[in-house]
Amino acid sequence: MCSNYSHRFPSSQRRGGAKRRGAQAGRDISPIRPPRRLRFAQRSFSSGFALTGSRFAPSSARRGIIIFGLVLLLWCTALTAFPSKIPTVLLPGPSPLVTFRILFMTGSAFDPPGKEGLAALTASMLAQGGTRSMSYDQIVQALYPMASSVNAQVDKEMTVFTGTTHIENLDHYYALLRDMLLDPGFRAEDFKRLRDDAINFLKVSLRESNDEELGKEELYNIIYAGHPYGHHNTGKISSLEKLTLADVRGFYRDYYKGTSLTIGLAGGYPKNFPDKVQTDFARLPQGSTDKRRFENPKLSPEMRIEIIARDTRSTAISLGFPISVNRGSKDWPALALVASYFGQHRSSNSYLYQRLREARGLNYGDYAYVEYFPRGMFQMTPDPNLARQQQIFQIWIRPVEAQNSLFALRAALYEYDKLLRDGLSQETFETTREFLTKYANILTQTQSAQLGYTLDSRYYGIPDYNSYVKEQLTKLTVGDVNAAIRRHLKSDRMRIVLITKDADRLRDAIVKNTPSPIVYNSPKPEEILDEDKIIQSYKINVKSEDVSVAQVNRVFE
Rule CB under 8 A: choose which of 67, 70, 71, 147 binds other proteins. 147
Kindly identify the residues of this chain, within the stretch 457-476, that bind other proteins according to CB under 8 A.
Answer: none
Reported as half-sphere exposure (CB side, CA atoms, 13 A), residue 86 has a value of 26
Which residues from 216-255 bind other proteins, rule CB under 8 A?
none
Is the Cβ of residue 40 or residue 68 nearer to other proteins in the bound state?
Answer: 40
Q: What part of residues 373-392 is at the interface with other proteins (CB under 8 A)?
A: 377, 380-381
β-partners of residue 391 are 323
Q: Does 26 engage in binding with other proteins (CB under 8 A)?
A: yes
Q: How far is the CB of 363 from other proteins (least distance, A)?
A: 4
> Looking at beta carbons only, is 365 or 374 nearer to other proteins?
365
Query: Binding of other proteins at residue 502 (CB under 8 A)?
Result: no
Residues within window 175-194 making contact with other proteins, judged by CB under 8 A? 189, 192-193
Please pick, from the candidates 183, 278, 439, 542, the single residue that binds other proteins as defined by CB under 8 A.
Answer: 439
Rule CB under 8 A: choose which of 211, 218, 464, 531 binds other proteins. 211
Closest alpha carbon to 352 in 441, 417, 425, 434: 417
Q: DSSP labels for 451-472?
A: HHHHHHHHHHT-S-HHHHHHHH
Residue 24 contacts other proteins per CB under 8 A: yes
Nearer to other proteins, 144 or 290 (CB): 144
Of 55 and 187, the one with the shorter C-beta distance to other proteins is: 187
HSE toward the beta carbon, residue 490, CA cutoff 13 A: 11
289 binding other proteins? (CB under 8 A): no
Q: Counting Cβ atoms within 10 Å, is residue 508 exposed (0-12), middle (13-18) or buried (19+)?
A: middle
Query: Considering only residues 322-381, where is the footprint of other proteins by CB under 8 A?
Result: 346-349, 354, 357-365, 377, 380-381
Q: Among 49-57, 162-170, 175-183, 301-309, which window interacts with other proteins (CB under 8 A)?
A: 162-170
Interface with other proteins (CB under 8 A), residue from 4, 6, 29, 343: 29
Count interface residues toward other proteins (CB under 8 A).
108
Residue type, 303: M
CA angle 88, 90, 94 (to 5 degrees): 160
Structural contact between residues 527 and 482, judged by C-beta atoms closer than 8 angstroms = no
Of 278, 312, 513, 536, the one binding other proteins by CB under 8 A: 312
For the chain, helix, strand, coil in percent to 5 are 45, 15, 40
Q: Does 511 bind other proteins (CB under 8 A)?
A: no
Q: Which DSSP helix (H) or strand (E) runs through 162?
A: strand 159-166
As measured in angstroms, the least distance from the Cβ of 417 to other proteins is: 23
Task: State in angstroms the smallest separation of the CB of 69 from other proteins.
Answer: 24
b (16+ CB within 10 A) / e for 226-256: ebbbbbbbbbbbebbeebebebbeebbebbb
94 binds other proteins (CB under 8 A): yes
The answer to whether residue 52 forms part of the interface with other proteins (CB under 8 A) is no
Decide if 105 contacts 457 (C-beta within 8 A): no
Cβ pair 127, 2 in contact under 8 A: yes
Q: How far is the CB of 431 from other proteins (least distance, A)?
A: 5
The number of angstroms, rounded, from the C-alpha of 221 to the middle of its chain's C-alpha atoms is: 14
* Nearest distance from C-beta of residue 538 to other proteins, angstroms: 21
